Chain A
Amino acid sequence: MPTGAEGGSAAAKQAAPPRLRPLAFVVAAAGLVLAFLAVAPDQDLGWNLPVAILGYLLATIAILDGLGTLDGDPTARDGGAVPAPDPSPPLPDTPATGRRDATGAEPAVAADVGRSAEPGADEAPVPFPWLRLIELASAGAGCFAALRLAVMGALPWPRLSAALLVTSTFLWVVVAVFRVAAMLAPGAARARPLLRRHGFWLIAIISGLYLPRLGSFTLVDPWETHYGEVAREMLVRGDWITLWWAQDGLFFSKPPLDFWLQGIAFSLLGVQTAPDRVLEGVARGLEPGPEWAARFPGFLAALLGAYLLYRGVASAWGRRAGLIAGLLLATMPYWFFLARQSMTDMPYAAPLAASLGLCLIGFGTEPEARARLYPIRLGTRVITPSAYHLFAGALLMVVLPQLVYLASRNLTWLFATEPRLFFRLHPDAFLVGSGGHNCGLPGNQACALLWPRSEGILAQPAVTALGFAALTGLLLAATRNERRRQRLAFLGAWLVVALSVLGKGAPGLVIPLFTIACFLLASGRLRDLDRLELAPLVLILAVVVLPWFVQSYLRHGWPFLDRLLFHDMYKRAFVHVHDTNAGADTSLRYYVAQLGYGTFPWSGLAALGLVSGLRARPADGAWPPQAAALLRLWFVTAFSLFTVSLTKFHHYALPATPPLAALAALVVDRALGDGRPRAGWRRIAYGAAALGAATALLGAIHYARASRLDGLVVEGSPGAPCWPVATAAFALGLGLAFALPRLWPRADAARDPSEDAALAAIALLACPLLALVGRDLVATIGGLPGPTRLMHLFIYNYERPWPPTLDFAPALLAFTVVATVLTGLLIVPAARRHAATLLLAVGVLFTAWSVNVYLVAAAPHWGQRETIATYYRRRQGPEEPILAYQLNWKGENFYTGNRIAVFVSDSDAFKAHVAALRERGRRVIFVATEHRRVKNLERDLGPVRRLERLISPAQNNKFALVRVEL
């Protein structure tokens, strides 16, 4: 059944409907029953989530088979499962030519998701890749075990071993996925083996940069710990619809995707979520790492977003440009810092980046080009998975868990209550108050079981699930014949847009739709409106986004909508609500400045890439210039939306970075020129020399200012300059830099003079821009130390003082000077490609330094992990409780599993609680507070035997822990 107003091609219209397979639907039902049995128990049995995932997977595959979608191309059905030949040329390493076909559409240079069309690609069915799948399962098991061990903190040398194990096993998974794909498309794998795949290198570089210390530093207050605590309560309360946490009570401010992702990760990776258990392992010599679980989903989202942006840019400008776009995005502070923050922002910005990539593919693909099929022999059958199955499988894996969970809200399998192992049919109800038998602590809402505001049979979750199941069936029926690459790219884009909406709400929908509408109008491509799959877009949004919204509304009524839609979306946009910019200039320049810091060291090239009309190489009117226009429109939409919004936080501009990265990548790609170093050792040597030269030059400038690389200030200084080392490093760096032209000699004699001039002009203007941004990051301006500005990209309170024990100005000066000089060298044609390579190396080194040195050193001052861990190390047992005094951050809740009495401002309540503890014979208590409030604490405690500060300002300049002997 074709979709869209156009109705699809003639072939699609004449296609016979695929044969349904009733037996597969029986298997699907079994999978759903299995999943239901895993989510229906009234207590966590440890195996619930893995078994449920297995059930969803089984049901997904069986539903796709039951619909007959695995039986070949439905538009070429002739009784057999013979796949249609792939008509498209390969995705180019070098830029596209920009030809138009007879229909006026753009050339078919785009790749669909999962396509690896290569000349000579095998068309014959291949055997089912059992061995490769076993290898993939082993790799997955290895990665899973590594993550669980990291979360448990049981490894010796926990940070180092977790870094090595998690990164290496994750890369093993990536390699294993490729080897499965290589079995399915042996021709493509032969044509371009793994190590020649740009996408692999992008994933490897991002994983190598982001993963090693992902979970080895504290969650940063307040966002990470806030959302982590909501996810933790979600698990212990056993309620994935109504979100609750101690300091707010019912939590309606954000849609649930981030909490669901964190909840899944917490559950699968074995985070001890029960009260008093999160960090309790430190008392037994372990180093629990719940941060690994909290941040891993954000890392995956960031990786997927960067990868699909690579695919999109590659489809228009070639693989190298795509790789550079992904690399630039991954090395921008906005992206890499927020990829390491378990906030709601990456789960909504990464799908937006992915949708941008998929839109680039969709608009750049010839409308009737068909997706490649991968025929696989399975017993007597030949099955033909394709990009459609990636889309439909992902859709079902997102929708089915929601529907099964809704159904389980009316039918509970009794494990914790009598009669055990029986099922109980009941109306929907939900718990408020802290889960895990944690009721009654001061600072917590009293526990209660409440009934939904909307009663009646139609408001029951199981009934709404039936409605959404019907819509899902309609969507699948409407799209099951779709094998056109363009349509599949758009369907994929809408799926990730829906996820983005589920991540943070309206901006996830407004940015892509407004941009695309403007693009169609501006480019005169209104005919593409028919091909955009708008009807499926509505259905996808309905089945992916609405189940949670509808059920939450039925449970909580108007206050839910009022808070989420009006207070946290409408009012944040049009009324000044809840930010920390008092006295700051929140006009146009607000996000101009933040984007400067958030895209360093690409700030200059990103700004110039945005305004320049470079890349006119293909013929006018061809797809690449239009794609550049789409990127610009995307940026302008995102930037305008957040600038117009009256409520501003620095990290809000994150969705504007993917198009900036892509546009800057086009400049860098052209600066690199045509060709590449000759094969073999020269390529490796060229890369190594560039990385070595960049490292040495950075080291030279750093050592000319300070000797300590870790940024620590000891005795008031980050170390005296070390001139011998600086001189030697400078000489080494220059030597290596001058070796670069020998390894990659200039070959593109026929350069375009106009392009030369354009690149020179861009470099000339980008250079001072970058220097200005760098100056802000290095110098103290208006009392604000420069290095603080990077931290401000993702934190809440911009008034927090920078720790005097840290000084990163020398390192940031080194990055600024080297990046500025290299940007300036882009003016010189003879040095351009090597300067561009060195800039890429500087970007990679800047990212490595930022996430492994800067963030790891600074984060402990913005988080409470060490404070609470010290409590568990020092306490004799639960009889020595911890209290929070005049503390309203969130780490105290998360890291104690909310087993903490919180007194934000009520001194009398605090005194009464301490008196009650005394009466109960408690001799020792611990108090978490801020350093500046310890005096108040002493006053409110009255006379005590002993008061001991356990955390010094050098360890944490904000949060303190006090041990009190009553």
Chain B
Amino acid sequence: MAATLLLAIVYVAFVGLGLADGAFGVAWPAMRAELGAPLAAAGAVSLVAGACSTASSVASGRVLGRLGTPRLVVLSFALTSLALAGFALAPAPVALLLLAVPLGLGGGAVDAGLNHHVARFYSSRHMNWLHCAWGLGAALGPLILAARLANGGWRAGYATLSLAQLGVTAILLATLRLWPREAPPARAAAAASQARPW
């Protein structure tokens, strides 16, 4: 039961993980108009976020070893939620560049952490579906932002995404005890033993 519940939570987390990924492109035209940024600045923000994501993915092994997957995932979601709230409040383009750092670090770490957990405890079938859930989030993010652009503006859009990420953080925080520590749950271990690479 606990393993199933945890799996459902991981699905929700993957949806949350995807939310912010496609949103920036939708919001950027409105953002640059209000903040007075050149069109090309979007590249710089994406570059910083991407570089930080890569860096945190590279370092994820060590961090996972120190913190463990559940705590890393909770911290990373909290970080991305704060960063998205910062996007909603950004007074200038330079703030976006600064906020791209925690956004990238959090996104990269949570990506690595969740993938590590699923690869270790669940079958590759779940990995496929979980990435489908990420895709669902990546599709929902721009939709949410577009809806809020029409009613409140891009800041309201990022505030909504931040709130959604915070909701995921709260769910993860409330269910920290469900996460396996050393040995995988019996069902998950059995499933893992039957997993085949594809």
From the candidates A46, A148, A154, name the one contacting B152 in the complex (CB within 8 A).
Answer: A154
Is the CB of B89 closer than 8 A to any CB of chain A? yes
Shortest CB-to-CB span from B9 to chain A, Å, is 20
Q: Which of B12-20, B53-61, B64-72, B153-161 makes up part of the contact surface?
A: B153-161
Is the CB of A145 closer than 8 A to any CB of chain B? yes
Cross-chain contact B88 with A154 (CB below 8 angstroms):
yes
Contacts of A720 in B (CB 8 A): none
Shortest CB-to-CB span from A892 to chain B, Å, is 26
Contacts of B166 in A (CB 8 A): 165
Q: CA of A47 to CA of B78 in the docked complex: distance in angstroms?
A: 25
Is the CB of B128 closer than 8 A to any CB of chain A? no
Cβ-closest chain B residue relative to A169: B166
Tell me the chain B residues, 133-176 only, with Cβ under 8 Å from chain A.
148, 150-153, 155-156, 158-160, 162-163, 166
Cross-chain contact B91 with A46 (CB below 8 angstroms):
yes
The 8 tightest CB contacts between A and B, nearest first, are A285-B151, A154-B159, A154-B156, A285-B152, A145-B85, A156-B160, A154-B155, A155-B159
From the candidates B78, B88, B163, name the one contacting A161 in the complex (CB within 8 A).
Answer: B163
Task: Say yes or no: A141-B160 contact (C-beta < 8 A), given A152-B155, A270-B89, A286-B153.
Answer: no
5 contacts between A and B (CB under 8 A): A149-B88, A149-B159, A154-B88, A154-B158, A165-B166
Task: Say yes or no: A149-B85 contact (C-beta < 8 A), given A155-B163, A286-B153, A286-B156.
Answer: yes
Is the CB of A92 closer than 8 A to any CB of chain B? no
Is the CB of B108 closer than 8 A to any CB of chain A? no
Cross-chain contact A284 with B153 (CB below 8 angstroms):
yes
Q: Kindly supply a per-residue 1/0 record for chain A positions 91-135, scoring 1 wherever the CB is within 8 Å of any chain B CB and 0 otherwise.
A: 000000000000000000000000000000000000000000000
From the candidates B86, B148, B151, B160, name the one contacting A145 in the complex (CB within 8 A).
Answer: B86
Shortest CB-to-CB span from A873 to chain B, Å, is 13
Given A152-B89, A284-B152, output 11 extra A-B contacts at Cβ < 8 Å.
A145-B82, A146-B85, A148-B89, A149-B89, A154-B153, A154-B155, A154-B158, A165-B163, A270-B89, A285-B151, A285-B152
Cβ-closest chain B residue relative to A287: B152
Q: CA of A498 to CA of B151 in the docked complex: distance in angstroms?
A: 47
Is the CB of A4 closer than 8 A to any CB of chain B? no
Cβ-closest chain A residue relative to B149: A285
Residues on B facing A (Cβ under 8 Å)? 78, 82, 85-86, 88-89, 91-92, 148, 150-153, 155-156, 158-160, 162-163, 166
Q: Kindly supply a per-residue 1/0 record for chain A positions 137-177, scoring 1 wherever the CB is within 8 Å of any chain B CB and 0 otherwise.
A: 01001100110110010111000010001000000000000
**Which of B78, B88, B89 counts the most chain A CB atoms within 10 A?**
B89
Cross-chain contact B82 with A141 (CB below 8 angstroms):
yes
Contacts of B151 in A (CB 8 A): 285
Contacts of A152 in B (CB 8 A): 88-89, 155, 159
Q: CA of A270 to CA of B159 in the docked complex: distance in angstroms?
A: 15
Shortest CB-to-CB span from A629 to chain B, Å, is 49
Cβ-closest chain A residue relative to B164: A156
Shortest CB-to-CB span from A272 to chain B, Å, is 12
Q: CA of A763 to CA of B63 in the docked complex: distance in angstroms?
A: 62
Q: CA of A156 to CA of B78 in the docked complex: distance in angstroms?
A: 19
Contacts of A286 in B (CB 8 A): 152-153, 156
Contacts of B91 in A (CB 8 A): 46-47
**Which of B159, B160, B162 counts the most chain A CB atoms within 10 A?**
B159
Cross-chain contact B156 with A145 (CB below 8 angstroms):
no
Q: CA of A285 to CA of B86 in the docked complex: distance in angstroms?
A: 20
Cβ-closest chain B residue relative to A284: B153
Cross-chain contact B152 with A145 (CB below 8 angstroms):
no
Shortest CB-to-CB span from B109 to chain A, Å, is 15
**Which of B82, B91, B156 counts the most chain A CB atoms within 10 A?**
B156
Q: CA of A141 to CA of B86 in the docked complex: distance in angstroms?
A: 9
Cross-chain contact B82 with A142 (CB below 8 angstroms):
yes
Shortest CB-to-CB span from B20 to chain A, Å, is 15
Contacts of A149 in B (CB 8 A): 85, 88-89, 159, 162
Cβ-closest chain B residue relative to A141: B82
Contacts of B162 in A (CB 8 A): 145, 149
Cross-chain contact B88 with A285 (CB below 8 angstroms):
no
Cβ-closest chain A residue relative to B152: A285
Cβ-closest chain A residue relative to B154: A154
Shortest CB-to-CB span from A207 to chain B, Å, is 18
Cross-chain contact A156 with B82 (CB below 8 angstroms):
no
Shortest CB-to-CB span from A286 to chain B, Å, is 5
Contacts of B86 in A (CB 8 A): 145
Q: CA of A165 to CA of B167 in the docked complex: distance in angstroms?
A: 10
Shortest CB-to-CB span from A271 to chain B, Å, is 13
Q: CA of A47 to CA of B98 in the docked complex: distance in angstroms?
A: 15
Shortest CB-to-CB span from A903 to chain B, Å, is 35
Contacts of B153 in A (CB 8 A): 154, 284-286
Tell me the chain A residues, 610-643 only, with Cβ under 8 Å from chain B.
none
Q: CA of A286 to CA of B92 in the docked complex: distance in angstroms?
A: 20
Cβ-closest chain B residue relative to A157: B163
Q: CA of A264 to CA of B91 in the docked complex: distance in angstroms?
A: 18
Shortest CB-to-CB span from B29 to chain A, Å, is 16
Shortest CB-to-CB span from B146 to chain A, Å, is 13
Q: CA of A285 to CA of B155 in the docked complex: distance in angstroms?
A: 11
Shortest CB-to-CB span from B147 to chain A, Å, is 10
Contacts of A161 in B (CB 8 A): 163
Tell me the chain A residues, 161-216 only, with Cβ under 8 Å from chain B.
161, 165
Contacts of B159 in A (CB 8 A): 149, 152, 154-156
Contacts of A284 in B (CB 8 A): 152-153
Contacts of A270 in B (CB 8 A): 89
Shortest CB-to-CB span from A465 to chain B, Å, is 30
Q: CA of A285 to CA of B149 in the docked complex: distance in angstroms?
A: 9
Q: CA of A285 to CA of B151 in the docked complex: distance in angstroms?
A: 5
Contacts of B160 in A (CB 8 A): 155-156
Contacts of B158 in A (CB 8 A): 154
Cβ-closest chain A residue relative to B156: A154
Q: CA of A286 to CA of B159 in the docked complex: distance in angstroms?
A: 11
Q: Kindly supply a per-residue 1/0 record for chain A positions 5-46, scoring 1 wherever the CB is within 8 Å of any chain B CB and 0 otherwise.
A: 000000000000000000000000000000000000000001
Cβ-closest chain B residue relative to A146: B85
**Which of A47, A148, A156, A165 counts the most chain B CB atoms within 10 A?**
A156
Tell me the chain A residues, 270-285 only, with Cβ under 8 Å from chain B.
270, 284-285
Cβ-closest chain A residue relative to B151: A285
Contacts of A138 in B (CB 8 A): 78, 82
Q: CA of A285 to CA of B88 in the docked complex: distance in angstroms?
A: 15
Q: CA of A284 to CA of B154 in the docked complex: distance in angstroms?
A: 11
Contacts of B152 in A (CB 8 A): 154, 284-286
Shortest CB-to-CB span from B193 to chain A, Å, is 39
Q: CA of A141 to CA of B162 in the docked complex: distance in angstroms?
A: 14
Q: CA of A46 to CA of B86 in the docked complex: distance in angstroms?
A: 15
Q: CA of A165 to CA of B81 in the docked complex: distance in angstroms?
A: 12
Contacts of A156 in B (CB 8 A): 148, 156, 159-160, 163
Q: CA of A286 to CA of B148 in the docked complex: distance in angstroms?
A: 10
Contacts of A46 in B (CB 8 A): 91-92
Contacts of B88 in A (CB 8 A): 149, 152, 154
